[in-house]
Amino acid sequence: MAILDTGSPFLIISNPNSNYCQSTGQCSIFASYDPIQSTSAVWVSDDMNVVYELTSDAGSWFYDALSIGNGISVPTFPIGTANGSSTHDIQNTFGFGGAGGAGPNPDANTLQLLAKAGAIPSASIAMYLGALDSTDGQALFGGLDTSKWQGNLSALPIVQNENNEIQITLSSVALSDQDVTSDNLPVPVMVDTGNFDIKLPQDVVDAIWSRVGGIQAVNFSLGANSLPYGVCACSLAQSSDTVTFGFDGVSIVVPMSDLVLPPSQLVLQEAGLTDFPQDTCLFLINGWGPTAPQFSPFIIGDAFLRNAYFVLDWDSNEVALGQANNDGGDSNIITIAAGTSGLQDAIASASSGQTSTGNPTSTAGAPSSTASASTVTGAPSPSATGGSSSNAASHLSQSGLILFGVTLFATWSSWM
């Protein structure tokens, strides 16, 4: 089992012999990868050192065969095997963005490698989380599912930035249809499925906190940083207020119930807040504060993305957003073809009412140029703490690493 993360570019899986696996027992839940047990693993180097916002992983790089679910298979793929972690959080991460390439492949990210191998039709992925208490999340490689959004699906250019992060332009923010005035809007924001909250310019945050009322700042010491988070009465989740995020051609509405959530015991333990008051929740629109890590981007994380249908396409360097549809009926898959117009063409086909052009459960088999869109479904409940070993990442001695399931936006289960 691995977190899908648009904020990093690597596939990182825990090594079962690491101190992390041996001391925490987490790897018996989320599983692990031992390259020594795989006859197809090829060692690259021992200089893997990946730094995330609040955590870090160290270990070795390998090439090995990779299978994802029943639909995607490649004979060789870069895999980082994590021997050490800075926290007791889940280590298994499948990244599709961020700075640099896929580990020892500096010029190509993971989606580009899958497309180049012919496993998926284009370097794209569409993600749908589902409602907060649902188990029907979906990751679709190389296609769109028209049942997962409502209204417009708008393609937005990825903003050029030195870290090659997935940033798009946020044009406006409104609280219950009343615009927030700010000299810092429009602003580039990073789309990060590996981050649980939303980080905006401080004047925007201050205006929202003031209008909502009852929110106070508390510093959480997470990883090497001390960051301010809003705390409030959990009853605020019942408010009818909404926050609307405006982009070119589309707006995403987020209800208060997705912005007010209780922290888990794990995050309280990591932050050293053992006496956190009962019936107190985190408010998930925050600023970085004065002690933020250098060059920290503004972020729209899971609290936002749970209400959006999100498509990333590296062929066109675009992101598409639409309002999530939690009751859209049967899937209808439109393949995103390779090339700079593939995403726009797929959106146009969807708008014209075209029916499926791909098989959401197809097996890619040997690399070819005619791969179909492939889905991985069934995200765990946000309150879940793990799954059975049959639903986890594991090694097979003759066929490398198999990801039987991927966890959509697991930051809710591990951090919240």
pLDDT tens digits for range 233-264: 999 999 999 999 999 999 999 999 999 999 87
Concatenate the DSSP letters of all residues of 379-394 into one string: PPPTT-----GGGSEE
267/188: higher pLDDT = 188
Domain that holds residue 125: 3-144+335-415
pLDDT score recorded for residue 150 = 96
Return the bridge partners of 306, or none. none
Contacts of 208 (CB under 8 A, 6+ apart): 173, 175, 180, 243, 285
Which residue would you say has higher pLDDT here, 190 or 195?
Answer: 190
Per-residue pLDDT tens over the stretch 171-191 = 999 999 899 999 999 999 999
Residue 213 within any structural domain of the chain: yes
Higher pLDDT, 320 or 196: 320
The residue-averaged pLDDT of 188-212 equals: 94
Q: Which of 251, 284, 305 is the last residue of a domain?
A: 305
- Statement to judge: residues 171 and 243 lie in one domain: yes
Residue 86 has a pLDDT of 52
Residue 36: name the closest of 57, 18, 48 by CA.
18
Enclosing H/E stretch for 318: strand 318-324
Q: What predicted TM-score, i.e. pTM, was given to this entire model?
A: 0.85
Answer whether 119's CB lies under 8 Å from 38's CB. no
Cβ(288)–Cβ(296) below 8 Å? yes
How many domains is the chain built from? 2
Q: How sure is the predictor about 277, in pLDDT bands with cuts at 50, 70 and 90?
A: confident
Q: Is residue 48 located within the same domain as residue 161?
A: no
Query: Do residue 130 and residue 204 come from a single domain?
Result: no
Q: What is the CATH number of the domain that holds 122?
A: 2.40.70.10
Residue 399 within any structural domain of the chain = yes
| C-alpha angle 132-134-139 in degrees, rounded to nearest 5 | 95
Residue 327 lies inside a defined structural domain of this protein: no
Q: Are residues 100 and 186 in the same domain?
A: no
pLDDT classification of 295: cutoffs 50, 70, 90: low
Q: Establish if 81 belongs to a structural domain.
A: yes
Helix (H, G, I), strand (E, B) or coil at 211: helix
Whether 314 maps to a domain, the answer reads no
List the single range of 1-15, 85-99, 175-189 with lowest mean pLDDT.
Answer: 85-99
Annotate 109-137 with three-state secondary structure: CHHHHHHHCCCCCCCEEEEECCCCCCCCC
Last residue of a domain, one of 305, 325, 347: 305
Is residue 159 domain-shared with residue 282, that is, in the same domain?
A: yes
Residues 243 and 356 in one domain: no
Question: Tokens representing 394?
Answer: 């594991």
In this structure, the answer to whether residues 160 and 38 fall within a common structural domain is: no
Note whether 138 and 188 are same-domain residues: no
The reply to whether 127 and 23 lie within a common domain is: yes
Q: Looking at the structure, tell me whether residues 26 and 140 fall in a common domain.
A: yes
- Same domain, yes or no: 203 and 88: no
Whether residues 203 and 116 share a domain: the answer is no
**Which residues pair with residue 244 across a beta bridge?**
174, 253
At residue 404, φ and ψ (nearest 5 deg) are: -65, -30
Residue where one domain finishes, among candidates 289, 305, 321: 305
